């Protein structure tokens, strides 16, 4: 049975890299959530303006629609910072799982500052941590340490996806 997974976390945690690795290992399509932001939202983030819940609503709707279009499994990147955002995605894809890449503020800031070709301004890292409602205790969430090597993170996710749903943390 194929899995539907969201790789989540604040900017700079490594969502895209891990999602690509998991998608390849599991033979699943990958959806880069960032490419589905509206032009207005991308412009705001490029200018260092944090998105609001209203700004994110259409984006989350688009991502939820994409999950519905992949009933045989998919790996999606999405910050999924708030419980309400994760609930919106869960409503679209029952059994949805989240791999949360947990990262420190200083590490996230260093990573975002170092990627010059991305629209996301490093000045927004604070707003990501301010908005984050950690998914601790939520069903179907695997917490991962962003400092670990990508290969180890991918192996952990693949092993977790292979376990029966009722035994997943």
CATH code at position 90: 3.40.50.300
Each residue's pLDDT tens digit, 53-111: 898 899 999 999 999 999 999 999 999 999 999 999 999 998 999 999 999 988 988 87
Q: Is residue 118 part of a domain?
A: yes
Structural domain boundaries enclosing 118 = 4-162
Q: Is residue 34 part of a domain?
A: yes
Each residue's pLDDT tens digit, 138-166: 999 999 999 999 999 999 999 999 987 66
* Number of domain units in the chain: 1
Q: Is residue 169 part of a domain?
A: no
Helices (H) and strands (E) in the chain, counts: 7, 5
Helix (H) or strand (E) holding 134: none
Q: Is residue 168 part of a domain?
A: no
Entry pTM: 0.89
**Whether pLDDT at 118 is above 90:** no
Q: Is residue 58 part of a domain?
A: yes
Residue written as tokens 């959806």?
A: 31
Q: Is residue 137 part of a domain?
A: yes
């Amino acid at each position: 049975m194929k899995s539907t997974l969201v790789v989540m976390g604040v900017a700079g945690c490594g969502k895209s890299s891990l999602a690509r690795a998991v998608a390849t290992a599991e033979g699943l399509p990958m959806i880069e959530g960032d490419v589905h932001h509206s032009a207005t939202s991308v412009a705001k983030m490029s200018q260092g303006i944090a998105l609001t819940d209203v700004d994110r609503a259409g984006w989350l709707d688009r991502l939820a629609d994409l999950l519905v279009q992949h009933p045989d499994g998919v790996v999606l990147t999405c910050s999924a910072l708030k419980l309400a955002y994760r609930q919106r995605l869960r409503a679209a894809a029952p059994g949805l799982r989240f791999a949360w890449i947990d990262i420190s503020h200083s590490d996230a800031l260093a990573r975002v500052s170092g990627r010059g070709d991305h629209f996301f301004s490093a000045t927004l890292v604070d707003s990501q941590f301010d908005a984050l409602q950690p998914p601790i205790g939520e069903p179907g969430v695997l917490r991962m340490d962003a400092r670990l090597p990508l290969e180890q993170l991918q192996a952990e996710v693949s092993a977790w996806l292979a376990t029966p749903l009722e035994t997943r943390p």
